Amino acid sequence: MDRIFIDFSAEKGAVKPLHAVNNGPVKARSSQGRGNSDIWPEMGAPYARTHDTGHCYSYGLNHTIDISGIFPNFDADETDPASYDFQLTDIYIANTYACGTEIFYRLGESIDHRVKKYHVHPPKDYAKWARVCEHIIRHYTEGWAEGFRYKMTYWEIWNEADCGDCCWTGTQDAFFDFFAVTAQHLKTCFPHLKIGGPAGTGNRAFAEAFLSDMQRRGIRLDFFSWHRYCRTPEELLDRVHFFRDLMDKYGYSQAESICNEWNFVKNWTDAFVYSMEVIHNIKGAAFTAGCILICDSAPVDMLMYYDARPCTFNGLFDFYTMRPLPTFHTLRFFDALYKLGTSVTVSRPEEGLYAAAAKDGKGNSAVMLCHYDYEETGGPREVALSLSGGAAEYEILLLDETHGGETVGTWRPGDALTLAPQSIILLKSL
Amino acid sequence: MERISVDFSASRGPVKPLHAVNNSPVRITNNQTRGNLPAYAAAGFPYARNHDASFSCEHIVDVHAIFPNFDADETDPASYDFILTDDNVSAAYEAGAEVFYRLGAKIEHARKKYNVHPPKDFAKWARICEHIIRHYTEGWADGFRYKMTYWEIWNEPDIEPCWTGTPEQFMDLYVLTLRHLMGCFPHLKIGGPALSHNREFAAALLDRLKAENLYPGFFSWHFYGKRAETLVEYARFFRGLLDEKGFTKTESLCTEWNLVYAWSGENFVKGIEDIISMKGAAFDAACMLACDAEPVDMLMYYDARATVWNGLFDYYTMCPLPGYHSLAFFNHLFRLGQSVSLSVEGANVYAAAAKDENGKSAVMLAVYAHEADFTEKEIELTLTGGADAYEVTLLDKDHTAEIIGTWHPGEPLCLNNLSVVLLKSL
């Protein structure tokens, strides 16, 4: 018997956006139309990061988001609206806001795994590149060049400069120079926005070198971003603590720590196909729930699932039909907590069980529980769930091998709860 | 009871390449490891047309990708960016497929079009194509000497996502390019236009070609539907049109085909679901088998690349799907070499048979009904010639191309709807 204690009187602060994602919805075309913009809002993803958007035909391929797509001729005048090609990016961004999700804009380039690299080289003029970014920000937040006034808070500089030559063909020092020039320029232009990066792969040495170098240069970071592909929530948690400690060590205590790519990967070689299969099944949904729930009490400010774009890493929507996959419901469950608003204290369960709870100011509350069994060797876990405060009765929504997140009954404090391996439960106060 | 009679003594000529595909295999790499090259090679796809290849990488195949600055010198190798296309092309040859090169641009559904406009200088565009051909067939610009027979000019100029100019502009481009390339490469098969659907467009183009005294190596067209009989109707129509206009020596090629119920709404999605299912595989088999005796010279399945149209390989794992086995079954007939006469009495049953010169023979059967009023078909299969015993390989909802036994002439065959069988002589 596992025991979990929830104290609804012990508030921890706002529920964090741990169910943010990479990339936005697909709006069905009139021809060959299949999309997910009708069901996307149910997931409640608060933010959509725009990395690798340029790989997706449904979004506009290489003409979308990436600097090389929006500002295709680097020798052009960066102050002239005619130098910019915003059209397909405008459509993609508008579709995302229409579904209730705020854009988290990655300024840079999509990853390039090909033998010849095209756009992941150091820009030939860092200051000009920064000014191009400035104009993109002005387009989307200040209306420049027949633009928009979106609430677009986060602006991230580059992606995975430490990922071999897939994302940055220059040296580490060149990247630090480039980052510093851009961050300084954008923060000066937009003190009210959150400027940060560098979306590191999770490499500890690179992260430390980066933070040390930025501290030495006196560069302000509103957020520090990093990635983690792993097998268990505990492996993600390890990085959460490491990066938070590292940020504090180098004077970035005020900066947010954001994991803006994560998913299940056993390894990148012989178990890669297995990993893709897990991402799309109930085990992937339980892994996702475990990661979100374990981070509710951990020092990380946002998690951004990779990826909601039609691709193999998308465990939210089926590639063929765009219909929801199990992990869609994991995010939908967590959104119920997020919408309630206030996170409350939950005792840390034994490994394999994960829990978080939230309440609003009107007497509503919810609990989310997950049993994730990486080894697939365990049996069901019986949970004694004790509540201090909370409601007298809860609706039970179940996501497991045979349930797609539907209501299966009611639960009252004191009732036993049994969680099968790879199952997720949402208890919503009645 | 349906009746099929096969006469192995009556050769009809070579088995046609009806299991060609669009696009190359994916090599297995050492990072994010998944690929399908070994399975692709095992299926023996004879040709890989490279239309829409650039969905996976904007720097490949399309003329504007290989020659990104149209104002550059088209005779200078430095003006060309071949490297990623070289890689894509070599993967097809590594898997035993010959590249069928589509000169043009991928389809563009987005509101803003980039590369489906009429080139600003048709003659220069034709000369760029010439140099691309020289690169892959004559070694120009550190190139190759591949056997690359078919060169198709443009794709679906009769729909706006593929051509923003007028039909007349397209015909001007087509005529000029065809004349230039046929003049440069009389030994290659130059043709097109990979027509989407518009038959008036086809007739007008052929009239124009006749007026120009230009006779392309092939005429290409596309088919998306839900019945093999409709594909047969297309095949007969286009062959008839070609003959009527005097293009009797021009091959008729269907360079895109697949299962489609509708182009929008839930029925579009239903079609996508069926493409990757056993129903799609039975449809694929029915189409190939129905065309074995029809006046079409090649069928090219759309698509073997990672897309919703790919009923051959699973998008996530790249493992074979049911449709893969239908094409692989047909490959067995293709490798035997000689198609033989066959008659089918009955509905929703499709068949073809082949033999080699060493006494080997095979029969491929499929049962496909889009909306079936039966669950199974009893088939009386009669052979004239052929072998005494055949190994039975079954593809249906319960069998993934598995050998399930031996068949001897005279024995009845019972097949469920949406099943495919290959009988290989023992």
Cβ-Cβ pairs closer than 8 A, A with B, add up to 91
Q: Are both A315 and A367 inside the same structural domain?
A: no
In chain B, what residues touch A62 (CB-CB under 8 Å)?
Answer: 58
Of B336, B369, B388, which residue sits at a domain end? Answer: B336
CB atoms within 10 A of CB B182: 18
ipTM of this complex: 0.94
Report whether pLDDT(B217) > 90. yes
Check B316 against A319: CB less than 8 A apart: yes
Regarding whether B195 and B97 lie in a shared domain, the answer is yes
Angle between helices B167-184 and B122-137 (to 10 degrees): 40
What are the residues whose beta carbons fall under 8 Å from the beta carbon of A277, sequence distance 6 or more? B316, B317
CA distance A82 to chain B (A): 15
Test mutation, A312, A313, A325, chain B, max B CBs within 10 A: A312
H or E element that contains A302:
strand A302-305
Per-residue confidence (pLDDT) for residue A87, from 0 to 100: 97
User: Which of B31, B34, B83 lies at the smallest CB-CB distance from A116?
Assistant: B83
- Taken as a whole, chain B contains a residue count of 426
For residues A318-345, average pLDDT = 98
Whether the pLDDT of residue B178 is over 90: the answer is yes
Residues B372, B280 share a domain = no
Q: How far apart are CA B11 and CA B340, in angstroms?
A: 4
Cα separation, A29 vs B232, whole angstroms: 30
Q: Is B251 in the same domain as B151?
A: yes
pTM score > 0.80 for this model? yes
Residue A339 parent element (H or E):
helix A326-340
- Residue B4 in any domain: the answer is no
Is A9 within the bounds of a domain?
Answer: no
Q: Are residues B401 and B354 in the same domain?
A: yes
Question: How far apart, in whole angstroms, are the C-alpha atoms of residue A211 and residue A216?
Answer: 8
A271 and A160 in a common domain: yes
Q: How far is B310 from chain A (nearest CA, A)?
A: 10
Tell whether B354 and B288 lie within a shared domain. no
Q: Which residue has the tokens 């004239």?
A: B384
Q: Which residues in chain B are contacts of A63 at CB distance < 8 A?
A: 110, 112, 114
pLDDT at res. B215: 98
pLDDT, position A151: 98
pLDDT at B34: 86
> Do residues A335 and A387 both lie within one domain?
no
Is A11 domain-assigned? no
Note whether A167 and A202 are same-domain residues. Answer: yes
Average pLDDT taken over every residue of chain B: 97
Q: Are A121 and A198 in a shared domain?
A: yes
| Domains held by chain B: number | 2
For B159, name the nearest residue in chain A, comparing CA atoms only: A31
| Distance (Å, whole) CA B73 – CA B106 | 24
| pLDDT on residue A254 | 98
Evaluate if residue B195 carries a pLDDT over 80. yes
pLDDT for A368: 98
- Which residue in A has a C-alpha nearest to residue B56's C-alpha? A55
Check if the beta carbon of residue A304 is closer than 8 Å to that of residue A18: no
B198 and B157 belong to one structural domain: yes
Mean pLDDT value across residues A11-15: 97
Domain boundary among B311, B336, B361: B336
B155 or A33, which is more confident?
A: B155
Q: Which of A87, A118, A280 sits opposite B112 (nearest CB)?
A: A87
Question: Is pLDDT at A83 greater than 80 in this prediction?
Answer: yes
Contact check, Cβ <8 Å, A273/B33: yes
- Contact predicate B165/B156, CB 8 Å: no
Q: Domain residues for B104? A: 16-336
pLDDT tens by residue, B341-362: 999 999 999 999 999 999 999 9
Percent of chain A with pLDDT over 70: 100
What pLDDT, on a 0 to 100 scale, did the predictor assign at position A208?
98
What average pLDDT is seen over chain A? 97
Contacts of B362 (CB under 8 A, 6+ apart): B332, B333, B336, B353, B354, B355, B390, B422, B423, B424, B425
In this predicted model, what pLDDT tens digit does every residue of A375-421 receive, in sequence order?
999 999 999 999 999 999 999 999 999 999 999 999 999 999 999 99
In this prediction, residues B77-99 reach a mean pLDDT of 98
Task: Say whether both A372 and A311 belong to one domain.
Answer: no
User: Residue A45 maps to which CATH number?
Assistant: 3.20.20.80
pLDDT > 90? residue B28: no
Closest CB to A320 among B87, B264, B308: B308
Residue B30 scores a pLDDT above 80: no
Report the number of distinct structural domains present in chain A. Answer: 2
Q: What is the pLDDT of residue A30?
A: 79
Q: Which amino acid is at B61?
A: V
User: At which of B284, B310, B336 does a domain end?
Assistant: B336
User: Are B295 and B371 members of one domain?
Assistant: no
Q: Is the pLDDT of residue A31 over 90?
A: no
Interface of A with B (CB under 8 A): 28-34, 57, 60-63, 85, 87-88, 91, 113-116, 118, 268-270, 272-273, 276-277, 280, 312, 319-322
**Residue contact A61–B83, C-beta within 8 A:** no
**pLDDT band at residue A33 under the 50/70/90 scheme:** confident
pLDDT for res B44:
98
Query: B120: phi > 0 → left, psi -120 to 50 → alpha, else beta; which?
Result: alpha
What residue numbers bound the domain in which A367 lies? 343-429
Closest CA to B104 of B84, B123, B83, B128: B128
Q: What pLDDT was estimated at residue B297?
A: 98
pLDDT tens across B229-275, in order?
999 999 999 999 999 999 999 999 999 999 999 999 899 999 999 99
Q: What is the CATH number of the domain that holds A377?
A: 2.60.40.1180
What whole-number percentage of chain B has pLDDT above 90?
A: 96
Is the domain of A157 the same as that of A240? yes
Q: Is residue B370 over pLDDT 90? A: yes
Same domain assignment for residues B29 and B173: yes
> Do A357 and A346 contact (CB within 8 A), yes or no?
yes
B96-124 per-position pLDDT tens digit: 999 999 999 999 999 999 999 999 999 99
State pLDDT tens for residues B125-143.
Answer: 999 999 999 999 999 999 9
pLDDT in tens, B267-309: 999 999 999 999 999 999 999 999 999 999 999 999 999 999 9
Same domain, yes or no, for A265 and A353? no
The pLDDT assigned to B56 comes to: 86
Of A34, A61, A280, the CB nearest to B268: A34
What local confidence, expressed as pLDDT, does residue A29 receive? 83
Residues B57 and B93 in one domain: yes
Parallel, antiparallel or unpaired: strands A154-157 and A102-107: parallel
CB B241 within 8 A of CB B203: yes
A311 and A421 share one domain: no
